[in-house]
Amino acid sequence: MRILVAGLIAFGVLIGLVSPAQAALPSWPNVKIGQTGDNVLTAQHLLRHRGYNIAADGDFGSGTQAAVKQFQTANGLSSDGEIGPNTWPKLIVSVQRGNNSEAVRAAQVQLNRYGYGLSVDGDFGGGTHNAAVAFQSSKGLEADGIVGPNTWQTLVGGTPSSGGGSYSLPLARSALPRSEYDDPHHDYPAIDLPVNTVPAYAAVTGTAYRINDSSCGYGLRIVKNGVDYIYCHFSGWSVANGAAVRAGDRVGTTGNTGNSTGPHLHFAIKISGTSYCPQNFLLAIYDGRTPPTPSSLPRTGCFY
Ligand SMILES: [Zn+2]
């Protein structure tokens, strides 16, 4: 009897070693024509990565469907034009630090669903690596920072628990060090970020309205939940007036238009015309934390 018990324990230990306890992966979603959103956008970036020249606009139209059918035929799948549990595993691409590709954009779109606030720039740098590791840790996955099959499935198939939406720095993370995001502004609450002509990204998901006046120059106002996120001094826009934008979407190129003495991005947060200090908001995004509610931001202490 003692031997049997010992044998059972040994067997249990063996089983434990062979298949360590791990939460089941979520199911792959079915993504198909007529749908919009981040999983559509993810699939489009992955299709672009694989050479299909379609728009990455988050809108699953006939062009995306045709590309999916071609991809399925080329990979021995039944070509129904829907991205489901058989197509996703063949479509995903493992990405990791040092990669720069459309597949990295797809991973950044997914990480932003969970609030990591990355610029969707296709550059898998330290910020994306840290986000991937944090996501993996939070889900009980091997936290190696490599977005491989299990991480992809957990990202794409999962439902973000916070529902808080996603955020992005207004510039690529590599554009400026963290220390630039706490600098005070002149005269009133805002921040001037010293960059030449570089891509600017939507900080939040919302509706973008162009600004064109002698003060702001070419600028943009992104409206989300009654809050205005304002960009000034662009050299050009990347989005139409009234466009729906997602956090991390490229919205323009910085520059020196309007009342500006040198190239920089002026960034401000306003609610009903009142300016709030954006520094803590941006620092939280930089650090991968959920930023404070704009109305809770201070209105003094960030200018001189
Ligand atoms: Zn300014």
Per-residue pLDDT tens digits for 31-80 = 999 988 889 999 999 999 999 999 998 899 999 999 999 999 999 999 99
Q: From the CA of 185, how far away is ligand 1's center (Å)?
A: 6
| pLDDT for res 90 | 98
Ligand 1 centroid from CA 43, angstroms? 38
Structure-model confidence comparison of residues 47 and 17, the more confident one: 47
Region 250-261 average pLDDT = 96
Q: Which CATH class is domain 19-157?
A: mainly alpha
CA–centroid distance, residue 178 to ligand 1 (Å): 18
190 CA to centre of ligand 1 in angstroms: 6
User: How would DSSP label each residue in the chain?
Assistant: -HHHHHHHHHHHHHHHHHS---PPPPPPPPB-TT-BSHHHHHHHHHHHHTT-----SSB--HHHHHHHHHHHHHTTS---S-B-TTTHHHH---B-TT-BSHHHHHHHHHHHHTT-----SSB--HHHHHHHHHHHHHTTS--SS-B-HHHHHHHHH---SS----B--SB-GGGS-GGGGGPPBSSSS-EEE--SS-EEE-SBSEEEEEEEETTTEEEEEEEETTEEEEEEEEEEESS-TTEEE-TT-EEEEEB--SS-SSSBEEEEEEETTEEE--HHHHHHHHHTSPPPPGGGS-SSSSB-
Domain boundaries, the chain: 19-157, 173-296
- What confidence score (pLDDT) does residue 287 get? 79
Q: Which residue has the tokens 């920072």?
A: 145
pLDDT tens across 146-186, in order?
999 999 999 999 876 543 457 889 998 788 999 999 999 99
> Domain spanning 173-296: which CATH class is it, in words?
mainly beta
Q: What's the rounded mean pLDDT across residues 260-264?
A: 96
235 Cα–ligand 1 center, Å: 15
Residue 230 has pLDDT above 80, yes or no: yes
